Structure 1
Amino acid sequence: MPGRDRRVDRELARLALPAFLALVAEPLFLIADSAIVGHLGTRQLAGLGVAAVVLQTVTGLCVFLAYGTTAAVARRVGAGDSRGALSQGIDGLWLALLIGVVVTVPCVLLAHPLVRAAGADAPVAGQGAAYLRIAALGVTPLLLMMAATGVLRGLQDTRTPMVVAILGNLLNIALNLLFVYGAGLGIRGSALGSVCAQLLAATALVAVVVRGSRGLPLRPDLAGIKQAARAGVALVVRTLTLRAALLATTFAVSRTAAGHGQATALAAHQVAFTLWTLLSFVLDAIAIAAQAITGRALGAGDRDAVRAATTRMVWWGTVVGAAGGILLAAASPLVGALFTDDAGVRHHLVPVLVIAALAEPVCGVVFVLDGVLIGAGDGRYLAIGGVLTFVVYAPVLALVVALGGGLPWVWVVFSVVFMGARFAVLTRRARGDRWLVTGVPA
């Protein structure tokens, strides 16, 4: 129905555009740190890069604090239970605080072994450990930011997280410059500046949630925290399978070339993956909107609205994915020059970007349906589907390596087998009705 489609379009725009800006702002923390630390020296920059891998692994596995909270809060909003929605949000904040404290201590105490495990040699490990010991203190604020953002998204507010993310990034740049160069703290100053910015951003977001929870008990509710943790387990498994697939893809690239050719292939892969990630932010913004819209509609018991909204959002995912693919393919001969002067890297990059571009419409469907099913609280299916997808993908990827396939073949397998398997798993579920569970769980 045209009228219903227009309503969904307006709601998508209202939720997805701020979500996209907030998503883009997230990696700018690391980009700003890299740009500032890079002028200190190569070892410092390499140390930052290794420490960032450790931190991103930890925080990436906790993304359920945002996604799971969004779905749970939105469902109660749809059911007209605003007090219950906020109470569930408070439980998510306490869970984030608990996980943050548990994770921070070993990250600080084991900073040097962790960066060595990530592949750093002794000189680089020293710089990486110096950064990680301080930066790990920002893990708890980061997790609180995730949980608070999830609460606000569930309440259909993506604008506040966007504003805080942008202001937090500006503050991060200012503090990094002040501590690194003004105070002469070097790489430790970069870590300290980031922690301060993260702490202030987390405080702002938590304050918004707490202010909206006036009249509700703010003390920890053990039963509610346990429920939030149990709901997050399935999403952790889903996230683990995705990260395992991406790591396996990079490993496959490194194994398909040797010597100088390996460096060229890995450099081209990194540029291609960076551009693929940028397009993914656009699609993920639609998925975040899908989480909020689906959860609210199911909480209200309106299955027809969920079906109609899903159909419309999948259409938008396909269109946006196709548009991104066309831009990526058109720019493929030119965009490499923005990243490198190496003619070999640019030469390898063109076919990879064309392959990635062809798969973008499929990626659009995958991202949107992933968001819809997260919004429906269908985490168990997503976890099982993620494991099955990886089980299908890994042997094919290994076969490409064994046969000596090059970088383009790795991306063909990633685009066709991995994304194709996810497409099959998600569309199969979406066609059925088992995920359309209405109301609020007891």
Structure 2
Amino acid sequence: MRRVAALALPALVVLAAEPLYVLVDTAVVGHLGREELGSLAIGGQVMALAVWLGTVLAYGTTGRAARRFGAGQREAAVSEGVQASWLALAGGVTIMVTLELVAGPLTRAIAGSPGPVADGAADWLRIAALGAPGLMLGTAGNGWMRGVQDTRRPLYYVLGANALSAVLCPLLVYPLGLGLEGSAVANVIAQTAVGLLFVRALLTERVPLRPHLDVIRHQLTLGRDLLLRGAAFQACFLSASAVAARFGTASLAAHLIAIQLFFFTALALDAVAIAAQSLVGAALGGDRVDEAKLLARRITTAGLVSGVVFAFLVAASLATVRPWFGADAEVYHQAKTAWWFFAGMMPAAGVVFALDGVFLGAGDIRFLRNLTLVSALGGFLPGIWLAYLVDGGLRGVWIALTLFIVLRLAGLLQRFAGDKWAVAGAVR
């Protein structure tokens, strides 16, 4: 368990760094006024898509690099990072150019109408888009370095860049008078800095930097499956918000509070999954199948224990909903409806996230894709819209979310009980 903690704790800090910086950025811009904060919300929502795409690339790279590393092929593991970095650079440049071209129409569409909020969002987005190549390079770097079980340097890189941005943001926004655009400039500087640091880490490995199209093609195949899986998640969470909104403003507000805290707990539990990717992938890459299975059982137990701990923390935190979030009596009443489902699903969620990491490390991506699609299309989405049709309120929304977790848990445990996932070898 020490090995799990040694990888999971730095990963947790890296995962938490970006949301914490977003809070700082939001606080700084919030003092400019309501319109500027609205512009940041729209622009940030668009840039969050780039973060998601980068995370997909990182997850695919970690598993492949870990298997190479476990087989004693460190140079080949780092070479996976080289190819992922070429892919990240191409993707980052594509995102940057696309956003420069469509920033205006896109932000007006999200805002619902032209106006100062949409215009401000477009101006912010055009500047922030310049950081997309660095952002994508940073996530690719995180992927291969986790694969070779180096989580210390990414910790320093990400924390250093986010600290720089947190200092620059208020300076650029206020004393230097850049206003909202200062926030975007600070983002670009931080993302470019972290991207260059990960490129420097590749250069110090002294491996060939030439692109290999066959490796990139394999990474794109993994990326495709992970994107489809991620799209299923997005459809589920967007549908949950859409249905909650149809039950009234109080239901939507209560759902927003609960789901954002769910995302935060998922972030913490995901640190265990990252450790699982690296350790299980390395064991299978080194043909140590029994070790991989033992690690998987221990990591699953760690996920269960973490989920139980979070269940108690979530249950205890209900009392903080009113003072922390300014919830009125109706919002608090609606939040209580969702809260017990939220707390009750935590042990199952802990196991689900841990096993996700195990199978990602094992390279069992196609199974994860299919299970997520079946659970979403066959369970969650029919459940959520049935809740709307029968006027099930927020309780119905969270029953459907719980069903989504339970269906994935059943499928993962069934797969875990067999041997098909534990395929040895440097690549799968």
Task: Tell me the TM-score normalised to structure 2 length.
Answer: 0.96
1:54-97 per-position Cα deviation (integer Å, ceiling 9, x unaligned): 11123313422111111111100100111111111100111100
Aligned with 2:392: secondary structure?
coil
Q: In the aligned structure 2, how far is the partner of 1:429 from the partner of 1:279? A: 25
Which residue of structure 1 aligns with residue 180 of structure 2?
A: 187
Which residue of structure 1 aligns with residue 285 of structure 2?
A: 299
Which residue of structure 2 aligns with residue 46 of structure 1?
A: 38
Q: In the aligned structure 1, how far is the partner of 2:99 from the partner of 2:138? A: 19
Which residue of structure 2 aligns with residue 274 of structure 1?
A: 260
Q: In the aligned structure 2, how far is the partner of 1:73 from the partner of 1:314? A: 22
Residues 382 and 425 (structure 1), Cα distance of their counterparts in 2 relative to 1, 3 Å cut: same
Q: After TM superposition, what 4+ stretches of structure 1 lie above 3 angstroms from structure 2?
A: none
Residues 119 and 400 (structure 1), Cα distance of their counterparts in 2 relative to 1, 3 Å cut: farther
Which residue of structure 1 aligns with residue 377 of structure 2?
A: 391
Q: How does 1:176-215 map to 2 (within 5 A)?
A: 176-211=169-204, 213-214=205-206
Contact 2:104 2:122 in 1 (8 A): yes
Aligned with 1:250: secondary structure?
helix
Deviation at 1:350, TM superposition (A): 2.4
Q: In the aligned structure 2, how far is the partner of 1:441 from the partner of 1:278? A: 33
Contact 2:70 2:426 in 1 (8 A): no
Is the aligned partner of 1:360 residue 2:346?
yes
Contact 1:29 1:194 in 2 (8 A): no
Contact 1:340 1:346 in 2 (8 A): no
Q: In the aligned structure 2, how far is the partner of 1:46 from the partner of 1:425? A: 41
* Aligned with residue 163 of structure 2, among 170, 187, 209: 170
Contact 1:337 1:346 in 2 (8 A): no
2:231 alignment partner AA: L
Q: In the aligned structure 2, how far is the partner of 1:63 from the partner of 1:340? A: 32
Which residue of structure 2 aligns with residue 5 of structure 1?
A: none
Aligned with 2:174: secondary structure?
helix
Deviation at 1:407, TM superposition (A): 1.3
Deviation at 1:120, TM superposition (A): 4.0
Q: What do you get for the CA RMSD once the two structures are aligned?
A: 1.4
Q: Which runs of 5+ in 2 are unaligned?
A: none
Give the fraction of aligned pairs with identical amino acids, expressed as a percent: 39
Is the aligned partner of 1:141 residue 2:128?
no
Contact 1:61 1:239 in 2 (8 A): no
Q: How does 1:95-174 map to 2 (within 5 A)?
A: 95-123=87-115, 124-174=117-167
Contact 1:70 1:375 in 2 (8 A): yes
Q: In the aligned structure 2, how far is the partner of 1:341 from the partner of 1:377? A: 44
Deviation at 1:432, TM superposition (A): 1.6
Deviation at 1:395, TM superposition (A): 1.0
Contact 1:156 1:292 in 2 (8 A): yes
Contact 1:70 1:154 in 2 (8 A): yes
* Aligned with residue 269 of structure 2, among 273, 283, 293: 283
* Aligned with residue 89 of structure 1, among 63, 78, 81: 81
2:232 alignment partner AA: T
Which residue of structure 2 aligns with residue 411 of structure 1?
A: 398
Q: In the aligned structure 2, how far is the partner of 1:424 from the partner of 1:282? A: 22
1:401 alignment partner AA: Y
Deviation at 1:398, TM superposition (A): 0.5
Deviation at 1:16, TM superposition (A): 0.5
Q: In the aligned structure 2, how far is the partner of 1:331 from the partner of 1:193? A: 34
Q: In the aligned structure 2, how far is the partner of 1:408 from the partner of 1:328? A: 17
Deviation at 1:341, TM superposition (A): 4.7
2:172 alignment partner AA: F
Which residue of structure 2 aligns with residue 225 of structure 1?
A: 216
Contact 1:75 1:299 in 2 (8 A): yes
* Aligned with residue 27 of structure 1, among 13, 19, 23: 19
1:148-180 per-position Cα deviation (integer Å, ceiling 9, x unaligned): 001110010112222222222211111111211
Deviation at 1:236, TM superposition (A): 1.2
Task: Tell me the TM-score normalised to structure 1 length.
Answer: 0.93
Out of 221-230 and 425-434, give the one that drifted further: 221-230
Which residue of structure 2 aligns with residue 76 of structure 1?
A: 68
Aligned residues: 426
Q: In the aligned structure 2, how far is the partner of 1:70 from the partner of 1:365? A: 20
* Aligned with residue 327 of structure 1, among 313, 321, 325: 313
Which residue of structure 1 aligns with residue 49 of structure 2?
A: 57
